[in-house]
Amino acid sequence: MDLVFKALADESRRLLLDRLRADNGQTLNQLCAGLPGMTRQAVSKHLAILEEANLIAAVKRGREKLHYLNPVPIHEIAERWIGKFERSRLDALSQLKQALERRDEQGDE
């Protein structure tokens, strides 16, 4: 959990996560192209810290590495405090359920 907070305590790293949220599965080159203010070396270093904190899942594809935003550790942190207040049926589940049910109703027509 320390790693997650340390990784998030940096604006550039939060920006990288925003970029992946907008377009998941980017290579280092793609991320650098979208962030001209940051050197390739800096982007690479930030990605390593995010990966170490499990906030990014990196998948090798041929000679490339694709970076995916992994929000699971953030969900676990939220759950530690929010879950205690019986908010455990997070919007996540109810929204998924609603989407599925809406879908069903459409399918049944």
Partner 1 sequence: MSKAMNKASHVYVTYIRSTPENVWRAITDPDLSARYWGHSNVSDWTVGASWEHRRTDAAGKPDLKGMVIESSAPRRLVISWAYPADVDAPARVSRVAFDIEPHKDDMVRLTVSHSELEAGGEMERGITQGWPFVLSSLKSFLETGKGLL
- Residues of this chain that interact with partner 1 (CB under 8 A) are 23-27, 30, 54, 57, 59, 66, 68-76, 79, 83, 88-93, 95-96, 99-100, 103-104, 106-107
DSSP secondary-structure letter at 46? H
CB of 108 to partner 1, least distance (A): 8
What whole-number distance in Å separates Cα of residue 76 and Cα of residue 88?
A: 11
10 phi and psi angles, rounded to 5 deg? -155, 125
CB of 107 to partner 1, least distance (A): 3
C-beta separation of 49 from 7 below 8 A? yes
* Sign of the dihedral defined by the CA atoms of residues 83, 88, 93, 94, in that order: negative
Residue (9 or 92) nearer to partner 1, CB? 92
| Residues 67, 72: Cα–Cα separation, whole Å | 15
Pick between residue 46 and residue 50 the one whose CB is nearest to partner 1.
50
**What's the closest the beta carbon of residue 5 comes to partner 1, in angstroms?**
17
DSSP one-letter code for 89? S
Residue 49 CB, nearest approach to partner 1 (Å): 16
Between 6 and 80, CB nearer to partner 1: 80
Nearer to partner 1 by C-beta: 14 or 73?
Answer: 73
Amino acid, res. 35: L
